[in-house]
Structure 1
Amino acid sequence: MTEFSLLPDTARIGRTALLVTDLNGMIDFYRDVVGLSVLTRHETTAMLGVGDTPLLDLQRDENASPRGHDQAGLFHNAFKVPSRAALGAALERIREHGQLDGASDHYVSEALYCTDPEDNGIEIYTDRPRAEWPRTSDGTIRIGTVPLDLDDVVAQSDGSADAPAGTTVGHVHLEVSSIDATREFYVETLGLTVQTEAQSALFLAAGDYHHHLGTNAWNGRSQPAGGRGIAWFEFVVPDDETLATVRRRLADADVAVGDRTDSLELTDPDGISIRIRAA
């Protein structure tokens, strides 16, 4: 951890949570398309993941309204799979059970895009080898967008109906109301590194990953997050000692923090909840 960083270089994304109205329909989609398994299920909640690793918390509120067109919130949850064979299988599942919205080679990764039944964006991607990631003169990572050869991807499919072991939430991408406020909070306060900066967008990381957090102001959102969509997402740090250090540094920086049973909770400038817990 650098002297001025609140989050350590070893932090990563853990679980994300969505507020939904049709719990059964959303469970079916994330099982059939993303390939997640139902780990726990109750009347109004379900936890989905891979193996015994939870990745997605679905929380039902039948009265939740759709997110307004002017509200900040989720651009996409990005599920990282460990191989091109798994990416090919995901493409087959999307084609069979959903609809492919797009596909890109981002230089650092290869990605597929789709949308769940309640209009939450989803990315399923696999990383290129780290040694192949292009870098700028200052050492930060360059992320780009060029077409992805889908025929080549699907030809390598292993045909699996399930996301394999090693699947994680690699990053979260948010729609924000202000790039300046986002930079001040996530970079200047939390200490994430700007890896790539594009027009009205920042791609941020703890340590040397290409990005754990994407943020953009492309669609002119002007109001705080609300309605259906992202309820919270979390950063995971290695251990309780690191979490205690993060807690102290947040207090020193005068960042308001709430305590949960297993985590800290804070709120970004658009009202999106962030949790920080120990692995």
Structure 2
Amino acid sequence: MTPSPLVLDTARIGRTALVVANLDETVEFYTDVVGLTVQTRDTNAATLGAGETPLLVLTEDEEAPPRRRDQTGLFHTAFLLPTRAALGAALDRIREHARLSGASDHYVSEALYLSDPEGNGVEIYWDRPRAEWPRADDGTIEIGTIPLDVDELAAQSDGSADAPAGTTVGHVHLEVSSIDASKAFYVDTLGLRLQTEMPSALFVAAGDYHHHLGLNTWNGRTRPPGGRGLAWFEFVVGDAETLAAVRRRLADADVSTTDVADGFEVGDPDGVSLRFCAQ
């Protein structure tokens, strides 16, 4: 691992951006089910968020081809709620407007899984207090999976129709073509901390979070992304001075960067676009 991580310990996930074929239907899902609010909207694009924080950028392209079964890209966008009562309310909305595809206790968190109308994976979760996260002897965090009692969770619902202020994109989970190549880029080059490693999956983080990125090869995808689905996701790294420093260090590590409106962009080994922006 690089001695001084390029992605600083204080970094966090910012927005996720999707290309969709039907903007109206997708916006309706993320408002009615996830509980986000529309912050900006025009003919072909919308930004949704919670409180004043933008979390999701949707761009409509009716001509974009659907994602192929062998393309890498998004496994799910994970929306982190601040309380268990808010997660119970999310379960209420899912039961009313969508279909729950999974529910798990991961020791560090409790999570609900579903898909949006375009087939993009969605996780909605809350974190247990950090003091309760199980850790290995080396200090890394142990993530597991056991069934979640959804009826008990529903009993904790606060009944809200909206995701509360403080909701964030807690992590992004990607389907990649190679665990080794992804580890070399995200851990060895960018300096994200390896928290949990499996033969076909990695969970890595900036700092001491349980994971900001999940990376898996479970479905054997080999082709680069394109068409509908994930356009990019971003790390928020601090102020403009910090952003410039990160860019210089990426250049020193021979990682090429491209200007975008709010910062700059790099490509991972599969061609997934990762952006960096300031707070």
> Is TM (by shorter chain) over 0.5?
yes
Aligned to 2:25: 25
Mark the runs of 5 or more structure 1 residues left unpaired by the alignment. none
CA distance in 1, matches of 2:122, 2:239: 29
Q: CA RMSD in A?
A: 0.8
Aligned to 2:164: 164
Aligned to 1:12: 12
CA distance in 2, matches of 1:114, 1:69: 18
CA distance in 2, matches of 1:271, 1:42: 28
Aligned to 2:119: 119
Superposed displacement of residue 261, structure 1: 2.8
Aligned to 2:129: 129
Aligned to 1:52: 52
CA distance in 1, matches of 2:4, 2:85: 40
Superposed displacement of residue 198, structure 1: 1.6
Aligned to 1:262: 262
Superposed displacement of residue 199, structure 1: 2.7
Q: For residues 23-75 of structure 1, give each alpha carbon's deviation from its aligned partner in whole angstroms, at most 9, with x where no partner exists.
A: 00000000000000000001100000011210000001001111111100100
CA distance in 2, matches of 1:199, 1:181: 13
Aligned to 1:275: 275
| Structure-1-length-normalised TM-score | 0.98
Aligned to 2:176: 176
Aligned to 1:242: 242
Superposed displacement of residue 184, structure 1: 0.7
Helix, strand or coil for the counterpart of 1:276? strand
Q: For residues 138-193 of structure 1, give each alpha carbon's deviation from its aligned partner in whole angstroms, at most 9, with x where no partner exists.
A: 10000000011111110010001100011000000000001111011101111101
Helix, strand or coil for the counterpart of 1:34? coil
Q: Which amino acid aligns with 1:173?
A: H
Helix, strand or coil for the counterpart of 2:207? coil
Aligned to 1:87: 87
CA distance in 2, matches of 1:175, 1:7: 21
| Structure-2-length-normalised TM-score | 0.98
CA distance in 1, matches of 2:80, 2:175: 20
Q: Which amino acid aligns with 2:6?
A: L
Aligned to 1:197: 197
Superposed displacement of residue 227, structure 1: 1.8
Which portions of structure 1, spanning 4 or more consecutive aligned residues, are displaced by more than 6 angstroms?
none
Superposed, 1:215-226 pairs within 5 Å as: 215-226=215-226
Superposed displacement of residue 270, structure 1: 0.9
Helix, strand or coil for the counterpart of 2:33? helix
Residues paired across the two proteins, number = 278
CA distance in 1, matches of 2:63, 2:262: 28
CA distance in 2, matches of 1:92, 1:262: 36
CA distance in 1, matches of 2:203, 2:74: 15
